Every structure is written in C-alpha cells, then in structure tokens.
Chains A and B, each alone.
Chain A
C-alpha cells in the first residue's frame, strides 16, 4: 500500500471512534445543536489532517534529531558536559512550553499574585531540567529505574503532606503542563538515542522512563513552591483555559481566531528544538545537505500539523466536551454518566499524537516483541478508567483527589518491583504521554462540564485534578499488562523445561 495512504488511514482511524461516539450522543441523549456539531466535525477533519502531517514531521525530524542528539551527548564522554547540556536542554524546552504558561497564569490568578507567573515557570523549568539530567545520568551509574522512582515518589508524598491541600491537585496536574505535543516525542527519542545503542541487556530497558522522571520534576517544583505560600488567599474562582474561546458567532471565524495564537505557541515550543538542532549541526552533526534539508522539512511538517490539530481540538472539541459533560451529569442515572465518561476517555486518547509516537518507538526498540496495538489499548483502557473515576469524583460529594492518588501511586511503585524493567519505564512514561493534547482539551472540558453542573463542587479543587488522574491510570494499566506478560512468559519457561 502507498506509504502516504497508510499513514493517512491511521490518522483517520484514530479520530473516527470519538466522532462516532459524539454523533451517537448527539442523535440520542445529548443534542448539541447545529453550530457546535458542525464545529465539532470541522474540528475532527482538522485533527485528522493535523495528525497525519504532524506524525510525518515527527518521523523525519523530531525522532531522528532526538536520536542523534542522544548519541552525540554520550560521545562527549564528560559527565559535567552531559549534566550541563541536559539541564539547559530540559530547562529551555520547559520554559517555552505553552501549556505551562497557561497553567502558571491560572495559578497566578488563583493565588491573587502571591505566586507570580514567571516564578512558577522558572521553578518548574528548573525542576524539569534537574530531573531530566537525573534521568539521563541514572543508567550511567547503574541505578535501577524502580529505585529511582521510589525515591522520587517518596519525596513527592512527603512534600504533599506539607503542602496546602488546594495545591495538591494543581501540582499533580503538572505532568500535563510540561508534556506538550513536541516534548514527549523529543524526550523519548533522546532517551532512545542515549541508551538503545548501548551494548548489553539493559539498553532496551533504559530506553524508556525518561519522560516519567522528567514530568515528576514539575510536580516536585510546584509542591515546593506551594509550601512557601501556604497563607495565600485562594478565594478566587478559576477561569479555566478551556473557556477562553467559546463565544463566537461565525463558524469559520471561531477557528480562524485561534490560528494566530496557536501558531505563536507552536512556534515558541518548536524554536528551542530547532535552535539546538542548528547549533549541533554546526558543531557536531555535520549532516549532508540532503539530510539537513529533510530535517528542516520535517520541522515544517511538525509545525503545520501541530497548528492544524491544535486549532481543531481547541475550536471544535472543547465546547462539545463541556456540553456533553454538563448534559450527561444532569441525568438522574449516574451509571450512564460514568459509562459514557469511560467511553469518551477511551476513544479520545486514540487521537493523541504522542500515544502513536511512543507505541511506535516501543515496537522499534523491542523489534516488535511488544506490539504497538497492545500499548494503544492499554492507554485506551487506562484513560477510560481515569475519566470514569474523575466523573465519580465530581458526583460524589466530599470525594478527595487523595483517595485516588495516594493508593494509586503507592500501588504503581509497589507494582514496579514485580514487573519487567522494560514495562516500568514504559508505564511511568505513559503518564506524561496520556496528558497531552486530547486530555487538555476534550477530556478536561468534559470533566469541567460535569463538575460545573454538580452542586457543591469547587472549581478550584475539582476543576484541576482531572489531568492528574489521567496521568495516573495508564501507568497502572501498563504495569498490569507488564505483570500479565511476566506471568505468561514464566509459564512458558516451565512448559519448555517439562518437555
């Protein structure tokens, strides 16, 4: 089959499921109205084309470049150079991340300026820089990933005990704020470039886990910050970033209006990666003219693709998410809401670009031993449960986020000791992968719509926190998949011996 056709078909099939579910809802229990429906369909088409072009760009630019950068960093052979490069690199991709700017702006607003936006951005970026460095040098000192994660999550737990409760959900949402559509593919291919070429048994296992470690840097940074401002006035209500662009009369206008700001955001997220590429091209890669031009083309594809699907998701999917969440919650039968929450979560994540990138990388690193489709289904089940759980949280009064997060992460850390190393890395990476574009737009809008209708739900506590559940659940489903793999393969071993 033609290569392009196949890639396009993949993109279509990733957006079709959510479109079908929304259409079914529209014609049965949640009529959306003509204008939102048309906007949703235009959004879906934009996302299909965006995904298609974006994934091509990631294939020919972002992944090869992360790969090359990884090998180059390793070749410097000086631990101090590696630490310096990694820190600068982590800091610079985080400091320009558009989602982080939005979240930081909200925290600034909610705390009435007690924590300023720039302070948050700087400290989260330092957190990301420090942890990405830790993640890169960890395998060089042969520290097991699970031990590293145990230490990181113990620190997070201790900090969470001291931090004001209002901030816990904001802090645990942070993985979503630091893992934009570009950072996840880039960091994961950097890890593969760094470790997959290393000889020996561990190379494959070390190829994953860097995204997971990196995102926890943001959580730690935010928790530390919040401890310093425990007495801040938190009475302001949240004006979430989903509600910014809902009012617009003309359909085309509502999309076009978004384009300039999205272009700017995407450009600023892409810029550090391009600059790093150009710098390294001059000092180390020294690619031939053709390879160089190909990567530049790839950056252009990445940019166009990202702009298209961000426009589609923001302009077409958000209002629909809010409407569906609100309407469903008003039903008497709460089981229906939970069920549809699960379904919507499970299909929405299929349109998430990072999920495709990482599942393809897993296939490549394991020579196809772990199939991409298996990883995608784990994501789908995980995010489905996450949305169902966050719906339960909003309809059960007095339900605290802690009830999920504490046992959830405790279970994840314990499970990591019983699961093959490879799955530990993949699982903890998945938290950052799942909290990408679709989580931040459609799913979050859905959860907020649901929360908005329920009386007594607090926008500050309930509005945030959904992302943190989405970050947690795929970790658990992938760890459980890993456990099944282990049980199955050890059974195979005994069978072999008996024969």
Chain B
C-alpha cells in the first residue's frame, strides 16, 4: 500500500487566545485533516504590564498533523495569513512524526513514516506517544498503555475535531472536547503500547481517535 510510506510532521502554532479556531479552520481548507487546540498561558514582558500586575496572557497552542509532502506548501500559507513572521505575532514550528495511526478514518488505517535519521547514526532511546481521544476516554488509554508496560501517562485537555466532526450552531463552528494522552516509553515498547491502545479503543469503538509517535532523544525521570 502506498499509504504506508507517507511521512508526517506535526505543526505547532502558538498564538494569542481566540486565534486557534481561525487557524485550524484555515488549515482545514488547505487540506489538513487532524488537529487539536490546547489552551496555554504565555508570559509578557513590559514594564507597564508588570507594574499593573499582569504577568501572563492567554494563548492557544494548535497542533496539526500534516503530510510531509504538503508541509512546504501549507506552512508558508499559514505564516503569511496570520503574519506569524512579524514580531510578537506568534510562533510556528514543526516536528517530524515517526508513526501515525488514524483510527477515525474507518478505524484502522495504518500509516508509518520512514524514520529520518540525521547523519546515519540513530541513538534514540525513547518515543513520545500522543493519543488523541474523545473527552473522558483518557483513562482507558492510560490503562491500555500500562497493560503493555508503560508507566503511566499525562492527560492534556484540548479541543479539536476530525473532518466529519465539525458541527455548526448558529453558524458558529463547534469543536468537540478531546483528551490528549502523552506517554513516554522506551523505543522497544512503543509498538506493544500502541497496539494495546488500538485494541482497547477498537473495543470501545466510539472512542476512535488518532495516535502519533515522535522520537525523544533524552528522557529523565522514567522508571
């Protein structure tokens, strides 16, 4: 299958609060199918604001899965439209994805990227597994991961939607709430953990989501 060798990257965009949905909507028009938005806080540096006691502002972090072949076309358009190249507008960066599993698209399509190795030497020891599921399903994911040998996961609250999930209420687009589970495991465990999560989610059926794996060079604090 041709699909199996497509490679993917993850685009991160950090912008002021309120821009997330707009960026994601625009990105969907450009062909991005999977994305999620997390709320965050950013620091501000200004003597006046500090005097007033305002130390942080609300930010939105947009995570989007994008095919590597399209990234050079999509990213400049996003940067242009939202003026991210101008100072103080926001940040955009991309990180390669090692494996990408889309459980939403008929359940089981499996896509794996060719691992990009820099300089031929591959010394990665850990993988970061991101599992995006409907809100409330995170516990199942952590459970499944632990069964396969992971030591737990971190749950991040987000919103986002696959292409069929966008609803409109009074012409306002509604993106359903999601849980993102971040699990760091040793590389050799990755496949077992991912399979365990996929099995579990298949049983739950409605909890279909996406899983992507990114390489981690160094990890501390794991038992």
A: residues with CB less than 8 A from B are: 1, 3-4, 56, 59-61, 200-201, 293-295, 297-298, 301, 363-364, 366-369, 371, 373-374, 481, 484-485, 488-489, 491-493, 495-496, 499
Contact = CB atoms under 8 A, between A and B. Distances in A.
B154 to A, nearest CB: 12
Interface residues of B, number: 35
Contacts of A488: 167-169, 174
B55 interface: yes
B1 interface: no
A374 B53 contact: no
Contacts of A496: 164-165
Nearest to A202: B136
A43 B53 CA distance: 27
Given A364-B39, A496-B164, A201 B136 contact: yes
Contacts of A295: 53
B57 interface: yes
Interface stretch (B44-52, B114-122, B123-131): B44-52
B52 A368 contact: no
A301 B51 CA distance: 11
Given A56-B54, A59-B54, A201-B136, A368 B20 contact: yes
Given A492-B165, A499-B164, A371 B172 contact: yes
A6 to B, nearest CB: 8
B68 interface: no
A369 B176 contact: yes
B20 A298 contact: no
A297 B54 CA distance: 10
Nearest to A364: B39
A60 B176 CA distance: 29
Nearest to A377: B170
B159 A366 contact: yes
A297 B49 contact: no
Contacts of B159: 366-369
B28 interface: no
B157 interface: yes
B164 A60 contact: no
B135 interface: yes
B9 interface: no
B164 A368 contact: no
Nearest to A59: B54
Mostly, the A contact residues are helix
Contacts of B39: 363-364, 367-368
Nearest to A366: B177
A367 B165 contact: no
Given A201-B136, A488-B169, A368 B174 contact: no
A369 B174 contact: yes
Given A3-B44, A492-B167, A496-B164, A297 B52 contact: yes
B60 interface: yes
A373 B60 CA distance: 17
A364 B135 CA distance: 15
B175 interface: yes
Interface string B106-117: 100000000000
Interface string B197-223: 000000000100000000000000000
Interface string B58-96: 101000000000000000000000000000000000000
B164 A3 contact: no
Given A4-B49, A366-B177, A60 B169 contact: no
12 contacts: A1-B16, A4-B52, A61-B53, A201-B136, A295-B53, A301-B52, A368-B159, A488-B167, A489-B174, A489-B176, A491-B167, A499-B164
Given A366-B159, A492-B176, 18 more contacts: A3-B49, A3-B54, A4-B49, A4-B54, A56-B52, A61-B53, A201-B135, A201-B136, A294-B53, A301-B53, A363-B39, A364-B58, A368-B37, A369-B174, A374-B170, A493-B206, A496-B165, A499-B106
B172 A60 contact: no
